[in-house]
Amino acid sequence: MQWGAVLAVAKAEWRSRWRGSLVIGLIFGLIGGCVMAIITVTQRTDSAFPRLVAAVHRPDAVTHVVGAQDALLQQVASLPGVEESWAPHIWVGRLDSGPLTYLSVMAGPGRPADLVRPVLLEGREPREGSPHEVLLSEDYARASGVSAGSTIDMTLLTGQQVARFGVGFGKPAGPRVRLHVVGIGRMPLWGSDAGTAIATPAFADRYVSSSAGHVSFLRLAPGDEPRRDFDRAFTALAAANPAPPELAELGPLQVRYPTATEDPLVAPVRRVLVAGLTMSAGVTAVAALLITTQALNRRHAQSLTAHRVEAALGMTRLERAVARTAAALPSAAVAGSTSTATGLAAGLLEPLGALRAFEPTPGYLPNPGIALIGGTSIALIHLALSGATAAAVLRSTPAGDATPRRGPWLPLVRRSPVLLAGLRMAWGPGQGRGTGMANQVLGLAAVVTLSVAVSTFSTSLDRLVSTPSRYGAPADISLMDAKAPDVARLATDARVAAIDVVSIGEVVLGGDMVRAYAYRPVSGAREVTVISGRRPAAADEVALGPRLADQLQARKRDGRLVVTLADGSTATLRVVGVITNQPTDASERLGASAVFSPSGLDRVAVTPPRQDARITAEPGQLEALRASMERNLEIYGAETPQEITTLDGLRPLLGFLTGVMASGVVVAVTHSLWQTRRRSRRATAVARALGFTPVRVGALRVTMAAALVAPALALGVPMGLGLGRLVWWEVATASGVEGDVLLPGAWVAAAAAAVLVASIVLPTAWTRREDRAVAAELRAE
């Protein structure tokens, strides 16, 4: 290696071309920085939920012990596998003003430092000695417009009133309380177990007489075996301690494992977001490589005279390529530093979609590791591209073999010189530069596949989110603890289009405790999402939610399931359908419940079913109906299930991905046509010299473009439809809804037509420029 000559050439190359070199480095750094930013956001988005779980010290198991059952509470804390526990009291209060609304509060002494610690978003933690300071859940604060510094006036229910919550209890008989909200906190799915607010031990001491019971948060020993031991012991404890008659409405002792109820809600969205962001990072990276490679190819092709001089002076190809690589060191440094700075700036971007609500540290959160490693990689890739493109130019030859090879397609096209020459121009070796035709087709097909897959997924998601009948047809208004006089009055209200009385209870189905529903139409007809089969009509029939059907699939025998009755005996039920039902609260997963006939639920429920009413308002009457009901009835508006809300958060990302993929198709088509044009330039020049008219030359280029684009579309479109269908099925079924896909046929057809038209227009637009290059090409011969 003649290092002196190499350094001299590198210095000369830098002095003559430093501006262009820095521009190329800056562009590559910016696009590479976008890739680093996408990777940073991907990592932050994917890790948001696990980081929040770790930050709040989420318990491994949760159970409610209602009423004054302190001995049972101690037994739960002493079960095998339990390492640590906290059992605060629970209170329920009714707000003194505004719509009829209830608020739950938990408080108690002895909370461990590493168990149930919400992330503080606003304000501060309540002081231990203050009986009226509370930390409020983020979701409730957002829904009610409450912030740190607000006050909440409410009247507590007594424990006996809470036990009769489903059948009526009159006016709250507990003390009046004014709560001072001093902080807003965040936890995964706060409200399903931890109430709505966390108060202090001083609150517990003052209002213990109105407590409705305890919620026990448990930390289990690591590993699967301790959990199995705990589960067996808890099942035996629950069987030995049935709910007292006065507490029967609240149900038997049950345990909830957050890893089994919370994680599956978030997992599908995490997978989709990570896959989408990864695809966008990949497309952006490919675009960066294509743009930079094109620019470097042109730079090195302009130095052919210098290459000949250097070769005449005795420099080898390797030495000349190393010289060009050394000359690119400053631009590589610019590319690396620019991408590193962009990667660090990406710390301003919070998690995307619904996972933003699980971010434990909102605000600027850089990832120096990704930024530094990414910046170094960008710099090294820039150097490698500089050396590789220089070597490719040095290896290129000015001529290629234009003799047609015989193939199976030759007899079909030999009568058309234009078609024969066009196919030869597309698939022939050309001048030996650029990317091979097969690789170009496969690359373009890959981009088309991803674009069609994203469109298929996005179209199916839009249909799901905009069609409530696909996820349980949420009612306009849900009336809690519906009483017969209220239902009768509403049935005659002209503003009500339809009303169902819904019985809600618990059943032991296939050995698992399952929430169950039964619908009794009162007036009109509300829509129910029947995915397959039918609604149950007889007492021995049941319909399952999609998630529950998958869970119990192995326990079915000849289409039947075993149900355990309240007295411990068993019966068999015929599974007659799969139905998606509207969940009652945040603790219930979409598609994880069962639907019975009214007589069937009365027969198999292990807890006395409570009665709610689901109401559909006449068009334009919803607000008036709500205003007249909320003054003296506990009502809730149409609540979209959390699974659907979470999936809905994907739509901005999908819109972004659709744009990225469309841009990727444009770049890929343009780049592929440009490469093919370069490869066929000499053949075009020869065709003009042989007498081809401009029209025939234009036809040659159209044939060339069709030979590139048509196979890519033929491969990419069906593969994209299949990939989109597969991904949508997995996400939909994991979210508890039907997995059928809505194929974007019109969009795909229009996009494919646009690509074909562009592949015809672009070569035609290049005709005049090519004509000017004919003389130069022939002189080179």
Which one is predicted more confidently, 149 or 447?
A: 149
Which one is predicted more confidently, 557 or 294?
A: 557
Task: State pLDDT tens for residues 123-145.
Answer: 999 999 999 999 999 988 988 88
Task: State pLDDT tens for residues 514-525.
Answer: 899 999 999 887
**Which residue shows structure tokens 């933690």?**
125
Phi, psi (rounded to 5 degrees) for 514: -130, 140
Q: 246 pLDDT exceeds 70?
A: no
Pairing between β-strand 541-544 and β-strand 570-580 as defined by DSSP bridges:
parallel
Query: 650-659: buried (b, 16+ CB within 10 Å) or exposed (e) per residue?
Result: beebbeebbe
Query: Sorting pLDDT into bands at 50, 70 and 90, what band is 421?
Result: low
Query: Sorting pLDDT into bands at 50, 70 and 90, what band is 192?
Result: low
Mean pLDDT comparison of 319-323, 592-596, 743-747, highest-scoring range: 592-596
Give the Cα separation of 458 and 653 in Å (integer): 10
Mean pLDDT over residues 640-652, rounded?
Answer: 80
Q: Which amino acid is at 375?
A: G
The full 3-state SS of 459-499, as one line of letters, equals HHHHHHHHCHHHHCCCCCEEECCCCHHHHHHHHCCCCEEEE
Which one is predicted more confidently, 421 or 742?
A: 742
Q: 407 pLDDT exceeds 60?
A: no
CB 99 within 8 A of CB 150: no
When mean pLDDT is compared across 6-20, 29-43, 498-512, 767-781, the lowest value belongs to 767-781
Query: Sorting pLDDT into bands at 50, 70 and 90, what band is 400?
Result: very low
When mean pLDDT is compared across 47-51, 269-273, 305-309, 743-747, the lowest value belongs to 305-309
Q: 766 pLDDT exceeds 90?
A: no
Q: 263 pLDDT exceeds 90?
A: no
When mean pLDDT is compared across 222-226, 381-385, 703-707, 713-717, the lowest value belongs to 703-707
Mean pLDDT over residues 478-492, rounded?
Answer: 89
Mean pLDDT comparison of 640-644, 668-672, 767-771, highest-scoring range: 640-644
Query: Sorting pLDDT into bands at 50, 70 and 90, what band is 412?
Result: very low
CB 477 within 8 A of CB 617: yes
pLDDT at position 636 is 82
pLDDT at position 615 is 92
Q: Which amino acid is at 602?
A: D
Q: 441 pLDDT exceeds 90?
A: no
Q: 208 pLDDT exceeds 90?
A: yes
pLDDT at position 20 is 78
Which one is predicted more confidently, 126 or 709?
A: 126
Give Cβ neighbours of residue 482 (< 8 Å, ≥ 6 apart): 501, 611, 612, 613
State the chain's mean pLDDT as an integer: 82
Mean pLDDT over residues 438-443, rounded?
Answer: 69
Q: 342 pLDDT exceeds 80?
A: yes
Mean pLDDT comparison of 10-14, 354-358, 535-539, 746-750, highest-scoring range: 535-539
Which one is predicted more confidently, 359 or 468?
A: 359
When mean pLDDT is compared across 227-241, 436-450, 613-627, 700-714, the lowest value belongs to 436-450
pLDDT at position 305 is 67
Mean pLDDT over residues 272-297, rounded?
Answer: 77
Query: 660-679: buried (b, 16+ CB within 10 Å) or exposed (e) per residue?
Result: bbbebbebbbebbbebbbbb
pLDDT at position 639 is 78
Query: Sorting pLDDT into bands at 50, 70 and 90, what band is 658?
Result: confident
Give Cβ neighbours of residue 55 (< 8 Å, ≥ 6 apart): 117, 119, 360, 361
